[in-house]
Amino acid sequence: MFKKGELTTEQIVLLIILIASFAVILFFLLKLNLGQETDTEICHNSVVTRGTSIIPTDALPLKCKKQYVCISLDGSCEAMTKPDDLIKVKTEEDVYKALAEDMADCWWMFGEGKVNYAGSEVDPKLYCSLCSQIAFDDSVKNLFGNQDSFDKKNLYDYLAKTKRSDGQTYLGYLNLQGFEGYSGEYGEVDLTKQHYSLMGITSDVSTWGWIGIVGGTAGVITAGIVLFPWTGGLSMVGALTIAGVASGGGVVGGVLVAPVVKGLSGNQFIPPSLIEVNSQEFKDLNCESITTSS
């Protein structure tokens, strides 16, 4: 006879099964990498909260983390130790798709141009967010004819022609309607270097803002960066280029750093763009601060 409070054999077996089942479920949840999605949601919610709060923005820090991403053909990643996300690709177009998805996620996290999370200050400033730091494994160059770089125009062509699940093209979703008409140089994406998936927001409404105006139709220039006013679409207001000269409908001799758009919030934004890590172009943006943590 069993004493009161003792477990029967059937109860012990049932308890072991329950514990084992819980362990299996926990294992698969971790394998699904739900932590990254949670970080994305946390960031998005903090952006929306900050943009809609009556409390000063300094009192509501953004809860956004930079993700480390590696794009690889063979599944290895010599370029980055322990990336948060290792994306395997098989074709050149897969590379563009991975970059497009990363840029779209970044745009969503920071409010799709609808949220002023920078606040309003007397002096216009640029606040930058580093959504991802992207590395290319050395196997990826095999998809580009064993070249160490590819023309950034190919990426923007992909953004212009490829539709998302919601029916919009990536270019349209990023508020870049009309950018297909950009006539300047796009520059190269160096596969041997790491790149930020970067976006920015100005703290002032309807202004060229952080880099100051000089010389009317000659564009806007400081520290080697030119902001050439753009009229290709309702949302497009400019294109940041390196040492370009504005001429007619395009930029002569300039190399694209990033487009500039006006969002529904009234702020000017740099929509998610690939900019080489710690490059001169990145430094010339004069970011007032970086709103993402490492």
Q: What would the mean pLDDT of 133-149 be, rounded to a whole number? A: 95
In this structure, the answer to whether residues 111 and 250 fall within a common structural domain is yes
31 lies in a domain? yes
In this structure, the answer to whether residues 196 and 280 fall within a common structural domain is yes
58 lies in a domain? no
Query: pLDDT digit string (tens) for 259-288?
Result: 888 888 888 899 999 999 998 888 888 888
What pLDDT, on a 0 to 100 scale, did the predictor assign at position 157? 95
pLDDT over threshold 90, residue 160: yes
215 lies in a domain? yes
pLDDT over threshold 70, residue 169: yes
pLDDT over threshold 90, residue 192: yes
Lowest-confidence pick of 9-13, 128-132, 246-250, 281-285: 246-250
88 confidence band (pLDDT: 50, 70, 90):
very high
What pLDDT, on a 0 to 100 scale, did the predictor assign at position 146? 93
Rounded Cα distance between 4 and 188, Å, is: 77
Whether the CB-CB separation of 287 and 127 falls below 8 Å is answered with yes
What pLDDT, on a 0 to 100 scale, did the predictor assign at position 55? 64
In this structure, the answer to whether residues 160 and 71 fall within a common structural domain is yes
- How far is the first Cα of the chain from the last one, in angstroms, to the nearest whole number? 62
57 lies in a domain? no
What pLDDT, on a 0 to 100 scale, did the predictor assign at position 216? 34
In this structure, the answer to whether residues 221 and 262 fall within a common structural domain is yes
Number of structural domains, the chain?
2
In this structure, the answer to whether residues 238 and 118 fall within a common structural domain is yes
145 lies in a domain? yes
Q: What percent of the chain has pLDDT over 90?
A: 39
3 lies in a domain? no
54 lies in a domain? no
Query: pLDDT digit string (tens) for 35-45?
Result: 455 788 899 99
pLDDT over threshold 60, residue 185: yes
What pLDDT, on a 0 to 100 scale, did the predictor assign at position 246? 45
The single-letter code of the amino acid at 169 is: T
Tokens of 28: 């698969």
In this structure, the answer to whether residues 154 and 42 fall within a common structural domain is no
In this structure, the answer to whether residues 109 and 249 fall within a common structural domain is yes
Whether the CB-CB separation of 161 and 169 falls below 8 Å is answered with yes
Percentages of the chain per state (helix, strand, coil), in multiples of 5: 35, 30, 40
pLDDT over threshold 60, residue 30: no
In this structure, the answer to whether residues 92 and 238 fall within a common structural domain is yes
pLDDT over threshold 80, residue 191: yes
Whether the CB-CB separation of 254 and 243 falls below 8 Å is answered with yes
292 confidence band (pLDDT: 50, 70, 90):
confident
In this structure, the answer to whether residues 199 and 256 fall within a common structural domain is yes
Q: Reduce the DSSP state of residue 185 to 3 states and report it.
A: strand
Q: What percent of the chain has pLDDT over 70?
A: 72
State the angle between helix axes of 92-109 and 34-52 in degrees (0 to 180), rounded to the nearest 10: 40
What pLDDT, on a 0 to 100 scale, did the predictor assign at position 213? 34
What pLDDT, on a 0 to 100 scale, did the predictor assign at position 149? 95
Query: pLDDT digit string (tens) for 235-257?
Result: 666 777 775 544 444 444 468 88
Per-chain mean pLDDT for the chain: 79
In this structure, the answer to whether residues 24 and 127 fall within a common structural domain is no
Which domain range does residue 221 map to? 63-290
Q: Reduce the DSSP state of residue 23 to 3 states and report it.
A: helix
Q: What would the mean pLDDT of 117-137 be, rounded to a whole number? A: 84
Query: pLDDT digit string (tens) for 196-229?
Result: 999 999 886 545 545 543 333 334 444 455 555 5
256 lies in a domain? yes
Query: Going by DSSP bridges, is the β-strand pair 85-88/67-72 parallel, antiparallel, or unpaired?
Result: parallel
Residue 121 Cα distances to 42, 118, 202, angstroms: 26, 9, 10
Q: 165 or 235, which is more confident?
A: 165
In this structure, the answer to whether residues 27 and 165 fall within a common structural domain is no
In this structure, the answer to whether residues 25 and 100 fall within a common structural domain is no
What are the start-end ranges of the H helices in 32-124? 34-52, 92-109
